[in-house]
């Protein structure tokens, strides 16, 4: 890590410390609670190739990261099928069904997630899952991960006026939980998700689950972590502990 990036991380950690006393924690789901992007990528790659998208040449992981990952299906449909968005919407519905068939047997929590959820429960914090995923996907993933009863609310982009990268889903989560943005933080793994958390006025911690660090930093997260065992995260949480 360069000196400048180390300083940036220190500033980001201090930004998280400023939310003390912490009231709530908000999580994205895909790529943030579980490493689900490879399953989404496989489903898109196979199904797009079957219909001859891109001349039948499979999409690359880089294309997936830059054009699909973290985005709402309405936006994905417009990107993939700009001349026939209705076809795109039907395609994304079929793809989500394929994802659910795959995901129920293959999802694993991000490393250290159980440690963090235990910390959150022990401190009596409110929590919500905030996702651009369709509700059947969100509920399936939370169930497979054993987190259906952990969250006090599940907020979806499709059920807000605007999905991520707009701040609406995170602002709705604050309203539902009856907490302040000054005492709440966000965990995200995508550019659009980080943009949403930052736009909602909360310190947003980015996970480098699959998306490149340089791409995520363009969305201005407070700092990046590899997973929930990252020492940077626990250094910040240790400081927050002093406020209890």
Tell me which residues are annotated as active site.
28, 30
CA distance to 41, 141, 189, 190, 229, per residue, from 37 (Å): 6, 12, 10, 10, 20
Ramachandran angles phi, psi of 35, nearest 5°: -85, 75
Q: Please say whether the beta carbons of 147 and 122 come within 8 A.
A: no
Q: Please say whether the beta carbons of 72 and 96 come within 8 A.
A: no
Rounded Cα–Cα distance for residues 164 and 177 (Å) = 19
What are the tokens at 109?
């929590």
The DSSP element (H or E) to which 31 belongs, if any, is none
Q: How far is CA 218 from the centre of its chain?
A: 16
Rounded Cα–Cα distance for residues 48 and 55 (Å) = 10
String of DSSP letters for 68-113: TTT--HHHHHHHH-TT-HHHHHHHHHHHHHHHHHHHTTT--BPTTH
């Amino acid at each position: 890590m360069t000196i400048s990036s180390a300083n940036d991380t220190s500033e980001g950690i201090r930004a998280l410390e400023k939310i003390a006393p912490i009231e709530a924690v908000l999580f994205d789901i895909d790529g943030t609670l579980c490493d689900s992007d490879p399953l989404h990528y496989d489903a898109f790659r196979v199904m797009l190739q079957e219909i001859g998208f891109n001349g039948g040449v499979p999409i690359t992981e880089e294309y997936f990261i830059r054009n699909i990952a973290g985005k709402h299906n309405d936006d994905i449909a417009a990107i993939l099928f700009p001349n026939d968005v209705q076809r795109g919407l039907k395609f994304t519905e079929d793809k989500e069904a394929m994802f659910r068939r795959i995901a129920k047997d293959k999802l694993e929590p991000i490393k250290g997630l159980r440690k963090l959820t235990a910390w959150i429960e022990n401190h009596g914090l409110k929590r919500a899952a905030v996702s651009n995923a369709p509700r059947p996907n969100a509920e399936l993933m939370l169930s497979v991960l054993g987190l259906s009863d952990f969250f006090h609310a599940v907020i979806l982009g499709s059920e807000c006026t605007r999905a991520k990268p707009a701040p609406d889903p995170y602002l709705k989560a604050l309203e539902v939980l009856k907490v302040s943005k000054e005492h709440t933080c966000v965990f995200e793994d995508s550019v659009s998700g980080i943009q949403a958390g930052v736009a909602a006025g909360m310190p947003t911690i980015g996970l480098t689950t699959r998306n490149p660090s340089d791409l995520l930093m363009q969305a201005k997260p407070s700092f990046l972590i590899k997973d929930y065992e990252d020492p940077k995260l626990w250094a910040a949480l240790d400081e927050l502990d002093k406020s209890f």
